Structure formats: C-alpha cells, structure tokens
Chains A and B, each alone.
Chain A
C-alpha cells in the first residue's frame, strides 16, 4: 500500500466517522437561535398545556391570560389544553416528543424536563431569550410590563437550571404544610409547639389511637381515625433525609438513598403504620377528606391544596353531614431540628419546546413571559396557597393587600389558604430542591414507594426486618432501574450541544481507524527501513 493510498483510505474513514457521529445528535431539531426580529405579519398558533388543581378559578385565569396576551399580539393564537395531573402531562409529552408534536409551552417540573431533554434540542434553553435586548425579560420590544431577570426570585429561578442553563421559568411556588386539628391536639392534652417535630407528631398520633369499649376512638367518637396522613410520600422521604443530612443522590445522579438513615426512618414509619397512627394518600385517600371529617389530626399536603383544608374550606369533597367543626392550624412540616427547618420547594414551572420555525418559538417565549406579569402572577397565586415567583408581584400593593385581608371571607381571602402562602413567604430561605438529571423522577418515585411498601407490609401483618429492608432496596433498584442511573452523569451531557455517548458503530469505527493507523505506521516505517538499507 502506498502512502498516498493509505492517506486516501484514512480520509475516507474520517469522512465516514464524521458522518456517523454527525448523525448522532442531529436526528432532532436544529438548536434554536433567537431571531433578530419578531415577524408580526406571520400568524402563529401555539399550544399551551397547563395544569390546574381541579380548580375552575385557575382555569379562568389561564383563559383570561390568553385573552390578554392575544389582544397584545393579534398574530398569536394560544390553544389551551388542561390537565389536573402532572404525571399525565409528563406521559403525554414523552409520547409526543417521538412524533415532534409536543406543545409549544408546557407547565412542568424540572425532573420531567431532564427526561424531555433526551430528545435532541427538544427543550429550548432560555438564557439567550432572557438576555435578548428586544424580546428578553424586560425587553424593549415586549408589549407588556415583563419582569427583569433580577425580579424573578433567584432561588426559584435557580431551580430551573439544568446542566448550567435555564430550561424553564418558575410559574408558581408552593411547599408542603401540615394542616393540624388543634382542637383534637389540645383535647388529647398536648400543646402545639412553635415548630412541629416528628417526635411530637408520632407521640400525639399514638395517643389518639385509644378507643372506648365499643371500638370508637376517644378523641373523635368515631370508628375511623388516622391521626397522621401524608399526601406525597416522595416528599416525605426526601424531606426527612434532607433534615437528617442523609444521602439521597449526588448532583450527577449517583444514588445514595439506600443508607442506614433511610432504613431507620422506614422502621419508624413501620412502627406507626402498624398501630394505625399513620397512613398515606395512596393507601387511604386524600388527607383533606379525613381532616375535615374529624378523622385525622395531622394532614400533610401542599400549600397549593389549602383551599380543601378545614371545615370552612371553599372546596370540600365530602358530604356536609360528615364535616366536623374544629380549629385548624397551618404549620411547617415536622422537623428533626426545629432550629434549622428544611422543607421542599415545589410548584409548576414553564418550559418551551423547540419547533422548526424560530418565529414560533419566539411567540411561545413571549407568551411564557406574559405568564410572569403581575396580573397573571397575583391572580393565580390567590387561587391557592401559592406564592408569586417575582419580587415585583410579591411586593406589589395588590398582593400585599390580598395577604392583609386574610380571613375576611371563606373564598378569595380564606385564612387557611393565605396562611399557607405566608408560610412559604416566611420560609423561602429554608426550602430546597433535589438534584435534577435524566432519571431523577424515578429516584423520587422510589423514595416514596419505600414508605408505601413498608406501610402496606405492616398493615398486612408482614414482618419488617433487615431481610425485608434488603429486599425492598433491591426491589426498588430494579423496579425504578436505579442501577442504570447510578453515576450516569449530569443532564448537561444529554442536552443539545453534546451529542451524548458515541454509538457502538462509531466506537467500532474508531477502533478500526486506530488499527489502520498502527498498520500504516508500521508499513511506512518498514518502507523507510528498506530504503535506508
């Protein structure tokens, strides 16, 4: 083989290699680039998939927001599709990524975005849009009073960063609260502490299990009493671990949840589930329904569920004759260290899906930005125990007046709802989020499922011991494929710029190339040696 022929072969191999690797990562859309101008002569129809809390006022606010936006931008039409469940949105988006029929704008959770990002360029990174002088946050050409980036609460905006870039903007924020039947706590001879602790809740809950000779619980005179019900066991485990400074996962996706603290927490859950003092939403039903029927003392649910809590709640899901009158208290979730409370930050964010037409993406961005205006932020925050995500809205006169009118009525100014919002406003500095990467949603599910499994096991009179725990950890690893996640890397490696790991064929080609180089080197060397001779 001559040097020339070898070089030609090498060149051909390189072309093949580049073509092969180039294919990988380019099957999706081109990366979005912000257009110089927004073309207002072009008509756009964008879809917005939104979630509401089975709350028609929220639906009305979305519709109002769309009307207001369309009036400002007559060339953009927004079609609203409503959901009441984040997981349904997640499933539908995943289904639609494959067919490139995703919505334009979508209410979402960062965990879910991490999965969406496995589609090449499927989710639009927003940093360039934020900073765009004309159409960015507070941009000169934006036709409404949009917030600047600095006016979005930094902590909330930070929760939308994946792999060093913003892939969403926060829309609303909430946390969890413990809604307490103070009347029953005091009837049992206890005084509510300033900050609830886990020990206090377990102690009161066990005390509430005493029955009379006819099998009625002494505290409520009914046949049913589950003193402590947790809505989201995912959050329960995550927050307990964080409060104990125990492992959950590293930022790059290494699973740490299967540790001694988790084991210890599960034994405690088992102990109180066995006595009937503790149950979960998945096993028993909505905490609010039990609380309002006088069948629960500590109901932990989102602050965004506050309008369902209490005998005077504007939203009630049980019949009137089942309602029991009691004094309700809205408190932070139980803590291990009350001096240093920790609670989860949650609530909807908004992401934008990429499309072939950058003008359509820009239209989507303008609508997304509109959702951050004071009118939308305050109106939506007032529907539940949410807080607005901009300092601009939080400090506005209208919002401050809303907070000040707590308790004036049992509708817009329902005191439990406003107290829930204030709880988050007062504790924003104590909130946290868990690391986000492709698969973090699975770990989150596993965290809660362990509590569910332990609770079910003791209710079914099974033995919860070390062998049970070992099997549980193994089952969770297998069910949620956590062994496939472990240490697989940050989401930033799965985004638009990095094509991800090379396909097997490319790896084989590189190996062949390396082999060819070695052979060619050996050939050239041999020829030179011959010439010298």
Chain B
C-alpha cells in the first residue's frame, strides 16, 4: 500500500509539474499583451526560415491565433535542418521591438509533435488601417497591387529588392529579403523583371520596418 501511495504521489507531482509548464505557454493574445523585454514562451509552427549563421537562426512562425518572428534564435546547424515548414516548436525568449517589428530575441527552442501550415490571408483591405499591425508577421496576400517602383538595394541584383506598390491611391513598401528568398529563387527573378504599372498579387510575411514592409515570398500577375 505504501508503495502504491508513493507511486501515486510521484505521478501526481509529475502531472502538476506538466500542468505548470503548460500554463507557462502563452497564447498569441498573452504574447501581444506582454511588455517589451518580458520573457515569453510560445508554441508555434515554422513557416519559413530566413537565415542561419554562427548557431543562430531567424525564422518566421505562425499558429492558428497569430504569428511570431524569431530573430537570431540559438540553433545548432543540425537542428536548423529540422526546422522545415509546419514543424511545431516551443520557443522561450524575450519580446523585443526593432524599428516597429515585434519579435522574439535571445530565444531557445525545442521541437514538439505537431504540424501546421498557414494559408495566406487576404489583407488588401487592411492596408492603411490601424488593424493591420495586429496581424504582424502573418502570411498575407495583397491583391491587385500596382507596381510603382522596383529598386535594388545596391543598384544591382545581389541584395534586397525594394518594391513600392499601390492600391486605392495609397503607396506601400514591400521587400524581397535576400536572406529569405535568395537571388536564385523564382520570386527574386520575377520581382526583378517587374515594370511600373504591372498589376500583381503579392504574397509575403507581414514584416514591419518603420511601418508595414512585407517580405515577399511570391508574386504573380493579378487574377
């Protein structure tokens, strides 16, 4: 009997411990409400990877209730290969804000069971509204955008491409981030060939740099 009680107590302690850990994981609403510099713990799903260097990975993640940008998260190279789109991870880090982009910095992660791939949400109507920032870092599509200007950061292919596109008479900035979509990707080449006046649908992650500045992952002629 004593043995049975001891086992029962041990099990209940483990369960309490697990419950406490689960309680520590934030919903996206909790995360959004957390102060800058607060410690945060979220469970989310990898959508795309930007770069790996010196055991640090920069990753775009999204869950059903919101998205996260993980900047220079501690990540050995062998683990980086495991971060394929859809992979569920628990991330522990600090909430930061850099030029308007809210991100998780100085983070570590562990891979969990689970998979989720976000579908791009049409946010064309949200451009220019205060509501847009609530969707920061989510995968979005902007339809019927008219290209105004295409500018290579360096004046020649090889680095980021800055895209200015308009809808309903307002101009917005987009970016082909070369670390996310390199010079040999279809999107890099396609954007380089765009001309002012082209009307396109732009898909990308709703990144922020001194205002909305989505990172483009796909571009095609407007339907």
Contact = CB atoms under 8 A, between A and B. Distances in A.
A289 B159 contact: no
A472 interface: no
Contact of A84 (B53, B99, B154): B154
Given A289-B99, A460-B37, A460-B39, A84 B210 contact: no
Interface string B15-56: 000000000000000000000011100000000000001000
B156 interface: yes
Contacts of B154: 52, 54, 59, 82-84
A478 interface: no
B128 interface: no
Contacts of B159: 82-84
Interface stretch (A150-158, A188-196, A280-288, A339-347): A280-288
A289 B153 CA distance: 18
Contact of A286 (B37, B96, B99, B155): B99
Interface string B62-104: 0000000000000000000000000000000010111100000
Given A318-B210, A459-B37, A285 B155 contact: no
A223 interface: no
A285 B100 CA distance: 9
A256 interface: no
Contacts of B120: none
Contacts of B210: 285, 289, 317-319, 322
Contacts, number: 45
Contacts of A83: 154, 159
Interface in B176-194: none
A1 interface: no
A322 B209 CA distance: 14
Contacts of B99: 285-286, 289
B153 A84 contact: yes
Contact of A460 (B94, B98, B155, B211): B94
Given A56-B155, A82-B156, A460-B39, A319 B94 contact: no
A456 interface: yes
Contacts of A284: 97-98
A115 B159 CA distance: 25
A295 to B, nearest CB: 12
A456 B156 CA distance: 37
A52 B38 CA distance: 37
Interface string A283-327: 111100100000000000000000000000000011100100000
A39 B136 CA distance: 60
Nearest to A58: B155
A429 B188 CA distance: 47
A54 B160 CA distance: 11
Interface string A449-484: 000000010011100000000000000000000000
B133 to A, nearest CB: 14
B106 interface: yes
B184 to A, nearest CB: 16
Nearest to B155: A59
A66 to B, nearest CB: 13
A261 B205 CA distance: 45
A233 to B, nearest CB: 15
Nearest to B173: A319
Given A317-B210, A456-B106, A460-B37, A81 B158 contact: yes
B175 to A, nearest CB: 13
Contacts of A91: 53
Contacts of A285: 98-99, 210
A272 B210 CA distance: 25
Interface in A463-520: none
Most buried by A among B97, B153, B154: B154
A81 B157 CA distance: 10
B37 A54 contact: no
Interface string A32-70: 000000000000000000001010100110000000000
10 contacts: A56-B155, A59-B154, A59-B156, A83-B159, A285-B99, A319-B210, A456-B94, A460-B38, A460-B94, A461-B37
9 shortest interchain CB distances as A-B pairs: A285-B99, A82-B154, A459-B37, A59-B155, A318-B210, A460-B37, A56-B155, A285-B98, A319-B211
Interface of B: 37-39, 53, 94, 96-99, 106, 153-156, 158-159, 210-211
